[in-house]
Amino acid sequence: MLADLAEKAEASVLKQRQILKQQSLREAEGYLELLHLNGAIIHPSLSVREFLAHQALAALNRIDDFGSWSGYSYFLRGQAFRAMDRFQDALEPLKKAAELEREHVSTWLSLGWCYKRCGRIDLAIESLEEGLAVAPQHAILYYNLACYWSLARHVQHAVAYLSRAFDLDPHYRDMVPQETDFDPIRQHPHFQAVNTVVV
C-alpha cells in the first residue's frame, strides 16, 4: 500500500515537472514571438527587445533540465540573445541546439545569421552547409548560402546555390532585387544570367 502511494506521488511529481517545463517553454516562446511579425524580426527599440528577451531567458532559467526539450530550450536562448543583438552570446546555445536537434532548420539559419554579424562569413557558410546535410529540401538554406557566398565574393558558389533555391521555390526570385548581400556580385554576368527569367 505504501509502495503504491509512493509510486503515485512520484508519478505526480514527474508529471508536474513536465507541465512546468512546457509552461516555461511556451512563456519564452511567447515573449520572443512578440518580436516577430510573419516570421521576420521587426525592430522595436533595443530597450523593448532587451526587456522581452530577458523575460524569455528568465522563463527558461526557472528549469534546470528540459530533458527531451533541451535542444529547443537552447534554441530559444540563442534567439533571446540574438534579439538583443548579442550575436556572440547567441552562438553557444545555438551550437548546442544544433547538436541536439540536427533537423531543426531554424537553428542552422540562426547560427549562420549570427556568424555573419560576428564577421565570420566562413563559419556562416559552414553552418548552413551542415544544415543542408540534414535538411536538403529547404530552399531558404540555399538562398542564404547564396547570400553568404556572394559576401565572400565567390560567384560560382553563390549562383549555384541561388539556382537551387529558385528550383525549390521560385518565389525567392522576388527577393533578389532588394537583397543587399548580392551587391558584391550583382554586376557579374553569371549572376545576371541566373536571374534572367526565360518565359
Measured between alpha carbons, how far is 150 from 144 in angstroms, rounded to an integer? 10
Whether 76 has a pLDDT exceeding 90, the answer reads yes
Measured between alpha carbons, how far is 172 from 8 in angstroms, rounded to an integer? 55
pTM value is 0.85
Measured between alpha carbons, how far is 9 from 5 in angstroms, rounded to an integer? 6
Measured between alpha carbons, how far is 161 from 139 in angstroms, rounded to an integer? 9
53 CB-side CA count, 13 A = 22
- Of 131 and 63, the structure prediction assigns the larger pLDDT to 131
pLDDT, mean of residues 118-130: 97
With bands split at pLDDT 50, 70 and 90, how would you rate the model's confidence at 108?
very high
* Integer Rg of the chain from CA: 21
